Amino acid sequence: MTEDAALVGEKPRRRGYAEDGRPALLGRLGRRLRGVNVEGTIALVGLLVLWQIASANYPPMFFPPLQKIWATAVQTFETPSTLLSIGTTYLRITLSLIGSFFIASALGVGAALNRRIERFLVPLVELKQGIPAVCWIIFAILWFRDMETRIAFVVVTAALPSFFYQARDAVRSIPRDLWDMVRALRPNLLQVLRILVVPSTLPSLLTVWRVNIGNGTRVTIMAELLGGITGIGHQLRLSQELFRMDQVIVWTAALVAFVILGNLVLSAIERRVLRWRPRNETSHG
């Protein structure tokens, strides 16, 4: 006990303990757990428990036990052909979404800047939205011989409306004061896009990317299921034909991993390119 502590009647703080008397290790553990989604963790654990209970009461064809799913996952991911199928699907989704992003964003910006372009494009986009994705897959099978062209066509058309509308509305939401300020500098079109349009629309476009990652994944798998001979969708069809629910779960988990990875990449991009914004505006945690 120090002399000052003795004078005021304070208890000395023992080594390894916080000021409130709790062990310092528990304090550090509590701070780390603050970033954990406790509710989400409870939901996932509850889902696993319910699945295990169902596996004890139903045939493995419907609800395989968790240990069998894990063994199947280990066996599956040790096979080189599995990694090739996963990489093929991941690459298809990524390249197709990038292509759709640039095409639709250019059209959306053009529609926002020119009323005639908008009147020409909007009916076509609305027509596209009324046609189900499965119809576009059938169109692609009939129109294109190459498998990669079919899937790229389907994914690009599926993601195009959301990219288009988001880009158009983001440009429209730019305040008129900013337009007047930039025009006072007498810039050319490329300078307007670089100085004003791109920085103003980027936050909205990054948001719609999150939506289209899931949308593009679903459409790609549907195309691979119906007409593919490679990729995760093809493997899902083979697993369904063999009544292997454990394999279906493993391939589905690979798709979920892609969506999660994509969102992590988008979060990193947001922190990088939107670092000028307040922290609470760029966090999606």
CA distance 28 to 58: 44
Record the pTM.
0.76
| pLDDT tens, the chain, 285 aa long | 455 544 445 555 555 555 555 555 555 555 565 666 778 788 889 988 998 898 888 888 889 989 999 999 998 888 888 889 999 999 999 999 999 999 999 999 899 888 999 999 999 999 998 898 889 999 998 999 888 999 999 999 999 999 999 999 988 888 888 887 887 878 777 888 777 887 888 888 888 998 899 999 999 999 898 877 889 999 999 998 889 999 999 999 999 999 999 999 988 888 887 776 666 554 444
Give yes or no for a contact between 85 and 235, defined as CB atoms under 8 angstroms apart. Answer: yes
pLDDT at 183: 79
pLDDT at 278: 63
pLDDT at 285: 45
The string of DSSP codes covering 132-168 is: -HHHHHHHHHHH-SSHHHHHHHHHHHHHHHHHHHHHH
pLDDT at 155: 92
In the chain, what are the domains?
Answer: 66-274 (1.10.3720.10)
144 CB contacts (<8 Å, ≥6 apart)? Answer: 150, 153
Give yes or no for a contact between 92 and 231, defined as CB atoms under 8 angstroms apart. Answer: yes
Give the pair of three-digit tokens for residue 196.
């004003």
Residue 171 burial (10 A CB sphere; 0-12, 13-18, 19+): buried
pLDDT at 192: 80
| Amino acid in position 187 | P
CA distance 175 to 200: 10
Q: How far is CA 139 from the centre of its chain?
A: 27
| Amino acid in position 279 | R
pLDDT at 108: 92
CA distance 15 to 46: 39
Angle made by CA atoms 19, 20, 26, in degrees to the nearest 5: 95
pLDDT at 165: 93
pLDDT at 283: 46
